[in-house]
């Protein structure tokens, strides 16, 4: 995981130093390569989804309700409120950043780290696995639909039909194909799952690199500078803290036991970068300010890993 975070930094630096090859119509053909990479990532995710392991956590409906409500209802509502309030605090902030926070708030949870942190903290691992996997399955279609609905709420409209068709072809079909092939390819998947994860991470790094190349070519950073970066980081910290308090407070109010509360917390506050970057490329790929849209999730990702890692070890020590 540390290697991936370092890779993100390298991809950003390369985007600033060598923007030409990764920019739109560059020699790396980022549009074609990114679309192929997105389909490959979702195919791998379908192959890796062990449905046989999540059945034991399917019956805990109270836990599922808390996690999915926070992921796809409460988080988007908070994102919509931020979209209305932030311009009053930072009037010069570009629209793409507000779109990025809306997008961050409708993403599904992570799978691997949510389950690992829940296990470390002695939480309900089966429940965490079920909900993290379920939110990712829902997220393939629910996230684009929520983006469309929330953009309409903020006065942005567009033809959603072709986009939904493209998302279905590049995400839902390969994801479903991977799930269908998993029973027959299970031994191969288990043997090469590390390499599948590495290939997926490389595709994400390429998409991030291409996004920064395009932003440099369009001279976006010259217009906004370091002040904007500081604003985004501050808002990310605020959002993460707010949602953490809301989730944990709700778990206490609903009187969930400690194991369920731990699973609910880690699955509810975490947002997936692995699916977030490919979906952003599909939804916002034609925009030259895609980099600004990606910045909130790129800041949120390391923050959630750092803070939740500390919390997992603290709760484990208590247990």
Q: Which of 236, 242, 200, 229 is CA-nearest to residue 291? A: 229
In a domain, 100, yes or no: yes
Dig out the tokens for 249 from the structure.
Answer: 């407070």
In a domain, 78, yes or no: yes
In a domain, 107, yes or no: yes
In a domain, 274, yes or no: yes
Lowest-confidence segment of 2-6, 90-94, 204-208, 270-274 by average pLDDT: 2-6
What's the domain count of the chain? 1
In CATH, what number is assigned to the domain containing residue 305?
1.20.1530.20
Q: Which of 10-19, 61-70, 122-131, 199-208 has the highest mean pLDDT?
A: 61-70
Position 52 scores a pLDDT of 64
Q: Which of 202, 196, 228 is CA-nearest to residue 215? A: 228
In a domain, 151, yes or no: yes
Give the domain range for residue 98: 37-311
Across residues 187-199, what is the average pLDDT? 84
How far is 85 from 78, CA to CA, in rounded Å?
10
Dig out the tokens for 283 from the structure.
Answer: 């939804």
In a domain, 220, yes or no: yes
The total number of residues written for the chain in this structure? 319
Query: Is residue 178 predicted with pLDDT exceeding 80?
Result: yes
How far is 43 from 196, CA to CA, in rounded Å?
10
Residues ≥6 apart with Cβ < 8 Å to 86? 93, 97, 98, 101, 235
pLDDT band of 74, cuts 50, 70, 90: very high
Position 163 scores a pLDDT of 63
Position 6 scores a pLDDT of 83
CA dihedral of residues 302, 131, 199, 20 (deg, nearest 10): -50
What integer best gives the mean pLDDT of the chain? 82
In a domain, 131, yes or no: yes
Query: Is residue 156 predicted with pLDDT exceeding 70?
Result: no
Across residues 128-154, what is the average pLDDT? 79
Across residues 274-284, what is the average pLDDT? 81
């Amino acid at each position: 995981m540390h290697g991936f975070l370092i890779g993100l930094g390298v991809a950003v630096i390369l985007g600033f130093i060598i923007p030409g090859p990764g920019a739109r119509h560059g020699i790396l053909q980022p549009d074609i390569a990114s679309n192929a990479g997105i389909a490959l990532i979702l195919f791998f995710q379908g192959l890796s989804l062990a449905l046989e392991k999540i059945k034991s956590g399917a019956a805990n409906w109270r836990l599922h309700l808390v996690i999915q409500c926070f992921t796809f209802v409460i988080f988007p509502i908070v994102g919509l409120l931020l979209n209305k309030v932030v311009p009053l605090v930072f009037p010069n902030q570009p629209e793409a950043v507000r779109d990025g926070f809306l997008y961050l708030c409708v993403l599904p949870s992570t799978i691997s780290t949510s389950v690992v942190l829940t296990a470390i903290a002695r939480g309900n691992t089966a429940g965490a696995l079920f909900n993290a996997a379920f939110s990712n399955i829902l997220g393939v279609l629910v996230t684009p639909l929520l983006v469309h609905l929330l953009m309409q709420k903020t006065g942005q409209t567009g033809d959603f039909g072709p986009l939904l068709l493209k998302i279905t072809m590049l995400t839902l079909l390969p994801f479903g194909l991977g799930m269908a092939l998993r029973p027959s390819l299970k031994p191969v998947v288990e043997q090469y799952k590390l390499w599948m994860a590495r290939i997926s991470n490389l595709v994400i790094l390429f998409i991030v690199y291409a996004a920064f190349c395009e932003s440099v070519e369009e001279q976006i950073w010259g217009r906004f500078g370091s002040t904007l970066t500081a604003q985004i980081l501050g808002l990310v910290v605020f959002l993460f803290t707010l949602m953490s308090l809301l989730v944990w407070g709700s778990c206490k109010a609903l009187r969930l036991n400690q194991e369920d509360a731990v699973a609910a917390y880690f699955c509810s506050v975490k947002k997936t970068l692995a699916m977030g970057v490919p979906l952003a490329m599909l939804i916002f790929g034609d925009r030259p300010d895609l980099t600004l849209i990606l910045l909130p999730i790129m800041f949120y990702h390391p923050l959630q890993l750092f803070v939740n890692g500390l919390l997992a070890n603290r709760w484990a020590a208590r247990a």
